[in-house]
Amino acid sequence: MIRLRSAKRKPRLANGASCSEMWCSLLGCTLFFFSASLTQGQSQNPVKLPAAKPSATGTSFKLQASGSTVSQSTDRQGVRADLSLPKINTKLPADLQIQAGAEKLAEALAHYSTALQLEKSGQMREALAHFLAVLQLDPANPELAAHTAELVYHYQGRKEAVALLNQAVTLRPDQPAPYLNLVRFLTTYTAEDAFEVDRAKQVLEDALKRFPTRSEVYAFASLSYLSRNMRADAVAVMDQALKQTVASAAFWMEVGRAAQQVWPLAQTENQAEHLRRVNVFFDKALALSPIGKKGESTRLEVAQYYLLSNQLDRARVLCEQLSTQTGNLQARKLLYRLYEAAEEKDKSLNVLEKIVAEVPSDVEQRRLLVNAYMLRETPAKAVPHLEAAIQLAGGEAGDYQELGDLLLKSQLYDKLIQLSERSVKLYPEVPIFHVQAALAHRALLHWEKAIQSFERAHVMVENSQSELVNHRFYFQYGLTLERAGRADDAGKMFEKAITLTPKEEIEDAANTMNYLGFMWLDQEKYLDKAGELIRKANELQPDNAAYIDSLGWWHFKKGDYPNALKELQRALGLIKELESEDAEIIEHIAQTYLKMNELEKARESFEKALALLPTEPKLLMRLKEGLRQTARP
C-alpha cells in the first residue's frame, strides 16, 4: 500500500544534485512502495541485458578478472584489433535482477512525486492526473483515495468522487477507514438529493455494525452527528459503545474523549448529569489499566481528566497512587497543583522541591518554585532557582528585573549590583536596571554611586513615555538625595513626585507630603510651606500617627508648645504596641516638656524613649543630651 505523504521540498533534479543523492532518494522511496501488497502475482522473470557487440579499432583493452589492472596491446602488423568487450554470459544474482513489478512501482513513484510537486505549486488539475495514475496501482489505499476524491470533486464532479470512495470501501471492507472517509466526504460535500443525505447515516450505521470493537468508529460517528446537529444520534452511538464488552483501556479512553463532546462538562446547568455520563467511560478505562508501568499512561490521563473536570479528590487519590507506585513525574506535578488548591502549602512545597531536585533542568518547575517561595515571603530561597531558569532557557528583560527585585528583597545588594551591570549591557535601553543598581548602592551607603545610577535612569526617562516616569521613581530619587545631604535637590524631586501622584493614590500622596514637610522642619526652612504639606497629609489620612507627630512637631517649631504637646500625645495614643522606631515621637514629647520647663516629665519621656532601644545615631545623641539637661541635682 502506498502511504500518502506531503511534499516538503522540490526534488533537485536539475540543480546539480549528485547521482548518489538521487539514487539514495529513489532507493528509499522504492523500498517504501515495496511495502504494498500489489506485487503479488506479478511476473518474476528478470529483464535480460543485451549482449555487447564487437567494434573495429586498432587497440584492445583486456579487463582482467580482478578488475585491478588493465593490459594494453597494439597491433603492429596492421591487423585490426577487437576492441569490443567480451560477451557477458554470467547470470546476475537474484537480488540485482530487475523485477517486472518493480518497474510498475517505480512508475507509480514517479507519478506520486510529480503529483506532490504539482500540488505544492498550485497546479491541482495537473496533479490530479498523476494521483489517478498512482491510484490505479493501489486502488484500495484509503488515504490516497480520500485525497484524490477531493481533487476529483473539484475537477470532474461529485459523482466520480463518490464512486472512487465507494471503490475503496468495496476493496477494503474489513477496514473502517474507507467507510469513515466516505462519510466525511458525503457530509462535507453535501448533495440536494435526499437519498444522498441518508447515505452518510447508512454508511455510519454499517461501519458501527461491522466494527463494534473499534473505538475510532464510535468517536468519529458521534462527532459526525454532533457536527450536523444530530445530538440524539450521537448519544445513541455512545450508548451503543457502552454495551460492548471490550477489555481494552485504550478503547474506553478514546470513546471517553468523544463523550466529553457529546456531554460538555462546561455546561453548568447540566454538569452533574454530564459528569455522570462521561465518568462511566473513564472509570472503565481505569478499571482495565494495570497498576504499575504498563497502565501508567492511562491512569495518568484519567487523573488529568478528573482534574480538568474538577473532581479534585479523585484526581488526588490517583496521582498519589501513581507517585507511590511508579514515581511518575507528571503525576507529581499534578499533585503539586492539587495540594496548592487544597491550601496544603507544606505538602505542595515539599513535592515541588523534590521535583526540582530530581529534574533540575525543568524550567517550568523552577519558576513554579520561585513563585512558591515568593508567596511564602522567602525571596532568598527563590533567587537560585530563578537564576537557574534564566541560565537554562535564557531570559527577557522582565526576567532580569524580577531577579533584581528578589535580590533587593533578599538584601543581597552586592549580587544585585553585579546583576545590574550585566542587565544594563544586555538591555541598555531599559532604565529600571539603573534604578535597581541605585537602590543597592543606597542600601550599602554608596551615596554618590546611588545618585549617579538614579541620574542615568532620570536622563533616559525624563523625555519619554516610560512607565518608570511616575511618582514613586521621583520619591526614591529624592529620598536618596536627602540621605546624601542634598536637601534642596531632594526637595525638587519630592515636589515632582507630589505633582505626578494620581488622585487615587492617596496613601502615596500623603506620605510624600509628610516626608517633604518634615524634612523642611528638620532643616528649619520653609516652615509655612511645610505646615501646608503636613496639614494636607493629615487631611488625606487623619489617623496616621506619623503624620500627627509631624503636625505636633510643626507646632513645636512654630513655638506653639501646648498645641504641639496635644498633637504629639494624640499620635502616641494611636500606637497600640510601641517599637523602637516610635522612640522619636516620645523624644518629641520630651523636647516639648523641656521647652515648657517641665523637667521631670521631660526626663521620664527621655528615659522611656531610650528604653525602646532605638538605633538611629542622631536620635540617640539627642536622647542622651536630653537626659543630661534634665539630670536631677
Whole-number pLDDT of residue 441: 97
Cα distances from 98 to residues 94, 109, 250, 496, in angstroms, run 9, 16, 44, 90
pLDDT score at 606: 96
Residues with Cβ < 8 Å from 121, sequence gap 6 or more? none
The per-residue pLDDT for 465 is 62
3-state secondary structure of 57: strand
pLDDT along the chain (633 residues), means of 10: 37 35 34 34 34 35 34 41 44 52 82 94 95 88 94 94 94 96 93 75 96 97 95 97 96 97 91 96 96 95 96 96 94 95 94 96 96 95 97 94 97 97 94 96 96 94 72 95 95 95 95 97 94 97 96 96 97 95 96 96 96 94 94 82
Cβ atoms 179, 203 nearer than 8 A? yes
Cα separation, 544 vs 225, in Å, equals: 68
For residue 266, how many other CB atoms are within 10 A of its CB? 9
Q: What angle do CA 529, 534, 539 make, to 5 degrees?
A: 125
pLDDT (0 to 100) of residue 191: 81
C-alpha cell at position 583: 522612640
Task: Give the torsion through C-alpha atoms of 297, 301, 306, 309, to 10 deg.
Answer: 170
pLDDT at 466: 66
Q: Specify the residue for cell string 480520500.
A: 146
Continuous segment of H or E residues that includes residue 112: helix 100-120
What is the three-class DSSP state of 61? strand
Closest to 216 measured CA to CA, from 187, 262, 257, 186: 257
pLDDT at 92: 47
Q: What is the pLDDT of residue 99?
A: 58
- Tell me phi and psi for residue 483, to 5 degrees: -65, -30
Quote the cell numbers at residue 107. 512508475
In 10 A of CB 35, how many CB atoms?
A: 10
Q: What is the pLDDT of residue 106?
A: 86
Residue 1, CA distances (Å) to 40, 106, 136, 244 in order: 12, 14, 12, 31
Q: Beta-carbon neighbour count of residue 78 at 10 Å?
A: 6
Residue with cell 547521482: 19
